[in-house]
Amino acid sequence: MKYKGFILLAVMIVAAAALYMSPENKKFEEIAAVGSPAPHFELRDSNGKAWNLSELKGKAVLISFWATWCVTCKAEMPYKAQLSETLKGSPIVMFGILYRDDPANLPSYYSKNRVTFTTLIDEGNSLAKLYGITGVPESFLIDKEGILRERFVGPKEWGDEETMKAIQKWL
């Protein structure tokens, strides 16, 4: 019984920790859902220019989370270039959002690969968290009113008929 005080103290510490970590004390961010307003962003591109989602109202926005280290992202780049060319003149803006990557890797990547969209830098991946990114590539289509309309998980052949219909539906 000489450890009775120690055991009581340990039980009290565990109980206090359990109360502190209870769900009422946690703040959970809502993850973007198709049909809901898209999470707002204000990010800088790889050249330092600021881009703000609310300033793009009236245009559809396609955002694609990607990384220079991502093999499937690299494989889908020609399809995105084709999509960019196909949609030229349409009311849509395409952005790539760098995910878990160092912006210092971009110049070398650009010199070896054709990238036809503006790359935004998501310091700390806070926007990726709001969009519930599970991996890359992952893309989202936001309509002219700022509503998230489509979610594309994984690599795509961006010029295929099904994808083009999904995009053109919201232009």
- What is the residue-wise DSSP string for 87-125? TTTSSEEEEEEE-SS-GGGHHHHHHHS---SEEEE-GGG
From first to last of its 171 residues, the chain has per-residue pLDDT tens of 566 666 766 667 776 665 565 555 445 467 889 999 999 999 999 999 999 999 999 999 999 999 999 999 999 999 999 999 999 999 999 999 999 999 999 999 999 999 999 999 999 999 999 999 989 999 999 999 999 999 999 999 898 899 999 999 998
Instruction: Please report whether residue 128 resides in a domain.
Output: yes
- Residue-range definition of the domain harbouring residue 97: 31-168
Q: How far apart are CA 141 and CA 155, in angstroms?
A: 15
17 lies in a domain?
Answer: no
In DSSP notation, 13-47 reads: HHHHHHHHTSGGG---PPPP-TTSBPPP-EEEETT
Could you tell me if residue 4 is inside a domain? no
- Largest Cα span, the chain: 82
Task: Output the pLDDT for position 26.
Answer: 46
Q: What is the CATH number of the domain that holds 141?
A: 3.40.30.10
What's residue 159's pLDDT? 87
The pLDDT assigned to 30 comes to 75
Tokens of 107: 């110049």
Check: CB of residue 92 under 8 Å from CB of residue 69.
no
Domain assignment present for 46: yes
pLDDT of residue 94: 96
Cβ burial, residue 133 (10 Å; 0-12/13-18/19+): buried
Domain membership of residue 9 (yes or no) is no
Please tell me the total count of domains within the chain. Answer: 1
pLDDT recorded at residue 64 = 97
